[in-house]
A and B are shown apart, each in its own frame.
Chain A
Amino acid sequence: MMSEAKEPASITSRPITYTHKIPVAKTKIFWEKLKEGKICATKCKKCGNLYYPPQVDCPQCLTSEVEWLELSEEAVLETYTHVQTRPQGFTQYEPYIIAVAKTLEGVKVMGWLEGVKPTEVKVGMKLKMATKTLPDGYVTIVFKP
């Protein structure tokens, strides 16, 4: 099909759709705990490094000996943004606040900030971290004052 509008002439490509199967076998604990409302990091048994997002290999020690650690729900807001223009895959939701907060353990976690007006968000505010199942079945991480 040829477009005949005032735009320069163009034809339409054959569409392509990607849907990936993402391997989570090695991080299974994270995904199981997430369903229970817990957020987990990993800790290298050798050097003690904490990893969030969790990873099962420590590149410092070249070891795969890590233990899983449930993060505390206490966190402090480091920064945030109120996303109005949403990407494909997220347009069905209301505008959301993406936040990065630091937990008591010292790792930073990304999440959606809820239960506060966008104009009343303050960097440095104390937050509680939890999980939430969205109507479409995806589980996400949320912060609340």
Chain B
Amino acid sequence: MRKVAVIGVGNSKFGNRSDVTIQELAFEAVKEAVEDAGITPKDIELSVVGSAGTRTYELYPAVPINEYAGFYDRGPIRVEAACATGSAAVYTAYASVASGQVDVAMALGVEKMCEVDTATSLAVGGRGGNYLWEFHFFGTTFPAYYALHASAHMAKYGTKEEHLAMVAVKAHKYATMNPKAHFQRAITLEEALNSRVVSWPLKLFDCCPISDGSACVILASEEKVKELKGQDTPVWIEAMGFSSDTANICRRTSYVGLEAAVRASKMAYKMAKIGPEDVDVATVHDCFTIAEIMAYEDLGFCKKGEGGKFIAEGQTELGGKIPVNLDGGLKAKGHPLGATGCSMIYELTRQLRGEAGKRQAPLKNYVALAHNVGGTGHYCWVTILRRRK
């Protein structure tokens, strides 16, 4: 296995992007990433396109996207892993470079989710488990799946609705410092707690919005990094841990955490030879506020059952023990399925380079962690990045 570096990152503005097609949206991230890497599109040997593609009129989105971006003869390998599609793209590009198949690869994650109405979007998301045994009978929705976890966590550990709301308040606060975030408005705890119930105990402000967006990550081998000019701050992929879980939520052992995340993080820590205490800054998959609380625990940032206390103590704020989701998270930055995993790498690369401006985390070990969950814990990638000091 060769060492692999992130040499360029790009991220479109997230939000309701009814001003652009999926191709035009993808191009925004590609252009920024190529310029950021200081290379030309010709230097990229392989394009991996991640798009869940379940809500757009392009049912086979990868090829039109790839052609528009100028890579018609160098891919696409199209990947899909629900909400972790972006990480699946990064993983595929990473493996292609690490294995020696190519020297420079691009992972492009993109999603258009606002072209259909909310009821349709909910019906698509609600089919994210096992349609026949879940949605067909019971009308599951994505908020409902995470609400099942929230109820279980509240019953077992005494986690309160206020703890969930605190995650939303934090996300909105940092989103105001990220011009690419969907929401640009801070909210109060009362506002979050008094918002309408979507799927109890989750309220409107516990749920990420439905957003369009794209993000792009360019990876290169160690040899190539030396050869290319201007690679002053490569960020190295130290580890990509992966695990998965049952499609049917009925077949899980418990609902107070995501086993896939526990397994993926153990694998990543082992590969990177670090522990959770070494991480300077993290992005976690907060599609719903309960997901961030479970992530603190699953990743070992705090003890099992203490996620509520951890947010209440401000441990994941800037200045806390481990700042989490300083880009606004999925909750306030937005969660365009295919883009999210790549967008996490975008944010952490900027953080490790010291380019995050007002939301810059203090760097001690120059280690960052991304946690990207697909479906209701069906997939999880934990990626550890490091910038050599």
Contact = CB atoms under 8 A, between A and B. Distances in A.
A135 interface: no
Interface string A73-111: 000001111111111111101001010100000011111
B23 to A, nearest CB: 15
B140 interface: yes
Contacts of B144: 81, 83, 98
A7 B115 CA distance: 12
A123 B139 contact: no
B1 interface: no
A19 interface: no
A118 interface: yes
Contact of B18 (A10, A110, A111): A10
Interface residues of A, number: 38
Contacts of B134: 110
Nearest to B150: A81
B122 A84 contact: no
A81 B255 contact: no
A118 B248 contact: no
Contact of B151 (A80, A84, A107, A112): A80
- Give the dominant DSSP class at B's interface: helix
B325 interface: no
Contact of B199 (A13, A22, A82): A82
Interface in B118-143: 118-120, 122-123, 125-126, 130, 132-135, 137-141, 143
B127 to A, nearest CB: 9
B137 A140 contact: yes
B57 A13 contact: yes
B71 interface: no
A81 B250 contact: no
B57 A79 contact: no
Contacts of B152: 78-79, 123
Contacts, number: 113
Contacts of A68: none
B139 A93 contact: yes
A80 B148 contact: yes
B138 A81 contact: no
A87 B199 contact: no
A123 B151 contact: yes
Contacts of B201: 81
A100 to B, nearest CB: 6
Contact of B200 (A78, A82, A108, A112): A82
A88 B155 contact: no
B155 A123 contact: yes
B256 to A, nearest CB: 9
Contacts of B251: 52, 108
B227 interface: no
Contacts of A123: 151-152, 155-156
B73 to A, nearest CB: 29
Interface in A53-67: 53
Given A79-B152, A83-B199, A110-B137, 7 more contacts: A81-B151, A81-B201, A84-B196, A87-B125, A88-B119, A98-B139, A98-B148
19 contacts: A53-B130, A78-B255, A79-B148, A81-B201, A81-B202, A83-B143, A84-B199, A85-B141, A85-B198, A87-B126, A96-B138, A98-B138, A98-B144, A100-B250, A110-B138, A110-B140, A124-B155, A140-B137, A141-B138
Closest 5 CB pairs of A and B: A90-B139, A81-B147, A123-B155, A88-B123, A87-B122
